[in-house]
Structure 1
């Protein structure tokens, strides 16, 4: 698929999404359109899988008569294999194409009523996984799709009409699932998530990291590697960061994530399945990461995160005996959990691993408990590998400047820390109200990190002695000098300009006074 065709598909899907919009907020109609696309994906995947099984019999899945004994025998055999391989099951009559056609088969000018059928199908998808390995991965996946919500339409007929119309539009789109080499649907899904994020304002921070930041994090944690045993995101949102890491290597054995928001947790699981990550290869949990971690005994080769900036947490004194925090001697303050997330991630980092986390600039210089934790990580553990300053206003819902901290337990360069200042005007592009990192900007950051080079007004490799001299304050301007010397001012020329202006003012005053005298009026001065 060409880049132009890809963009056409993305625009087509966005137009369909806006069919649903009505008076709904971006995050509300997001849940419907992404849910319908996910259902279409599951149905098409099921049909392709079943058709392949039935090929020796010379029949297709949709040709099976579900009312006959022979048809039921076929379905039982296919269901067993589908649950094992795909993790779920759909009958021929439950496929997306069948329900879309039914909803748009006019009977006396009216669409057939499909809401009840559709609701049952979504429940049946979940029920087909009950008691199987995939049960947790499909549990309540469609709970945010209330097909009887008045936001879809005031009457059942109105709701049915709009749903039927959306399904009809989606049914015409070929996601090319037969071609395993391209991920048309996965890319389109990511595009839609990004579009919803741009319209969701502050709420977007709950589920989405801008792609350009995701790329930087992913390239950093995969530097020098083509395969990963595992990747982990403790605040995984929609799962986009985890999936971005997968694009940078040939293979990842296992994906792990945790997400507090229930709706976003559902979106992350859908995103994984839709990107063809097998249900046995991902483990996404829904819980508060700091208060109730779900993967406490695991260690991960790559860790990425964009946690909520300066979030509140309990800082419960009991955590002083928690293995994640006990060695530091102090907990992150209740009002700012930034370093609590760092400590949590460091605990989960494998000895050969790399972690990259996005944080507000305050973590670089704030004192008290945060200063103590920062010093311990640098002086006692020597885990901090790099500090990367990003431009302001690149995240949805906040304009504050942010930074990326990179940590390793076994550092190749234990005697220094790399500082990169990518916040200058030459390092991003302003598009409307948002600042954007283009491909060349991303490449410069990543290459500078990988080559560990000092570049005038952009990067600096600071020795551990310099860090110590600065009392472990990591404020980037202390290390990367971005000062632009102004051209010298010619005082003599300025004085002459002022003298000339005085002469011009005096001449103008005289002219005005002469006019006033001729008009026989008082002068204004």
Structure 2
């Protein structure tokens, strides 16, 4: 039943999103529809919580609006909801009330001004409180004055009223505390937008199957986590995916450089009912200005931008994240800088899994030096997993996953898995199937050797290869071709030669009859 409900909600939300689709590009209509869904979610949470508080008094939240003791009730509800929910809305500011105002009397009544004030007030209600950072500027990308919504103010208003009215008809079923249907539907929308966003999608979304692999890798043998961290958290899908693999995650941490994506991540956390006191997402450049520098995490996952540029400033040689290695990742390729950053943040009992381009496995110079240090001096590398090409939005390059631990159960070897040929082609994209994901996790968890798929390489073997981790050096996927029957081929060539001579003779006869020269 939950699956059917989820599918129905996903389709309803996507249909509403398409109301905006013809008006603007994917990035813009994504921000509007996700922002409006989030506003309705907050309103519904506020209404449900306020009604629970008022139940002993025999009142509903809407009835407080015209109550003689309105101010007293609102102040009391505000104090409680700020602590419980992290924000506050008045009855007149609820999503349903704004929508009702826009459609009152069957007319397209002007509500843009009121709506803008409400969104601002949500953020203002948190000022000076513990949740201020988590709600601040959340709606900054929802510009109700933008010409993208329409040429005139009436055109803009008409479109917004239409979208809100459609959303108002949908039951988010938030009374069902065991259901995360809305959170999953929100994730579905983010994925849909990513599939149509081309190269930009990599900035905020990791395909679900890859998220699943990373999440399962860092939770093998665990049913609860003290903390999970993603230094390039995008929309937060990876962090939330880790939570699905265990019973509880106490704290979520992340850092995201793009302000729009940072807002999306915080919304996503709240929509999945992660309490604001349990997550700490920062908006900054992770390599240049790390915001959780002194913290250590039990699980770390990341899909950083591939071969991104960074400053590689010599000043970083005194930074504890990089100093021990003696070299910095090149300024043109920050891949290993992210690895070093994550290793620094990893707790002694933790596991980290990071998606990277294949080049990190074999490139030389500084990257080769860092790779050798991680294996020879630290012995942190636990597994190398090769993924299929063309599974990420915006790039077709083959990628790999590095799994690192500070205290490894198998300190004398490294597991190599070649999963590059296990996928299904869907339109222009390759996709990992459930059985492909399950095989990777089973092979890693049981540390299995399988011909043409996985190989447990002793450290001495890696040393012999001069710390080059290119997967074909360890997993032999060579397929021997069928033996060639030279006798049969010779016979076939003779038959073709004879057939050619007969054809030439026939053509020569026709040419003689026509009185023309033969073409040979």
With structure 2 as the length reference, what TM-score do the two structures score? 0.99
Give the C-alpha shift of residue 25 in structure 1: 1.5
Per-residue deviation, residues 144-172 of structure 1 (Å, max 9, x unmatched): 00011111111111111111111111111
Q: Cα deviation per residue 1:437-493 (whole Å; 9 max; x = unaligned)?
A: 111110000000000000111100000010000000000000001111111000111
Taking the TM superposition and a 5 Å limit, the aligned residue runs for 1:88-107 are 88-106=87-105
User: Partner residue of 1:81?
Assistant: 80
CA contact (8 A) 2:262 2:283 kept: yes
Q: Counterpart in 2 of 1:471?
A: 466
Answer yes or no: is 1:267 the counterpart of 2:269: no
1:139 corresponding residue in structure 2? 136
**Correspondence for 1:371:** 368
CA distance in 1, matches of 2:76, 2:357: 54
Measured in 1, the distance between the counterparts of 2:255 and 2:6 equals: 31
CA deviation map 1:308-332 (0-9, x unaligned): 0000000000000100000000000
Within 1, Cα distance between the matches of 2:97 and 2:503?
85
Query: Is residue 173 from structure 1 mapped to residue 161 from structure 2 by the alignment?
Result: no
Where does structure 2 lack aligned partners over 5 or more consecutive residues? Answer: none
**What is the CA RMSD across the aligned residues, in angstroms?**
0.9
1:289 to 267, 286, 290: 286
Instruction: Give unpaired runs (5+ residues) of structure 1.
Output: none
How much has 1:69 moved relative to structure 2?
4.1
Whole-angstrom distance in 1 between the partners of 2:82 and 2:6: 32
SS at match of 1:105: helix
Q: 2:196 aligns to what SS in structure 1?
A: helix
Deviation at 1:505, TM superposition (A): 1.1
1:452 aligns with 2:451: no
Q: Does 1:227 align with 2:224?
A: yes
The aligned counterpart of 1:398 is 395
1:259-292 Cα deviation digits (max 9, x unpaired): 0000000000000011100000000000000000
Aligned residues: 520
Mapping for residues 199-238 of structure 1, pairs under 5 Å: 199-238=196-235
The aligned counterpart of 1:37 is 37
Task: Write the deviation string for residues 338-366 of structure 1: whole angstroms up to 9, x where unpaired.
Answer: 00000000000000000000000000000
Indicate the residue corresponding to 2:489 in structure 1: 494
Q: Which residue of 1 aligns with 2:312?
A: 315
> Match of 1:504?
499
Partner SS for 1:257: strand
Residue equivalent to 2:189: 192
**1:336 aligned counterpart, secondary structure:** coil
Measured in 2, the distance between the counterparts of 1:495 and 1:27 equals 62
Q: Does 1:60 align with 2:55?
A: no
1:27 aligned to 2:22?
Answer: no
TM-score (normalised: structure 1): 0.98
Q: Select 2:476's aligned residue among 457, 466, 481.
A: 481
Aligned-residue offset at 1:8: 2.1
Q: Please give the alpha-carbon distance, in whole angstroms, between the structure 1 residues aligned to 2:14 and 2:391.
A: 22
Distance 1:495 1:260 in 2: 66
Distance 2:288 2:97 in 1: 45
After alignment, is 183-192 or 68-77 more displaced? 68-77
Which residue does 1:519 correspond to in 2?
514
CA distance in 2 between partners of 1:55 and 1:5 (Å): 29
**SS of match in other structure, 2:86:** coil
1:104 is paired with a residue of what secondary structure?
A: helix
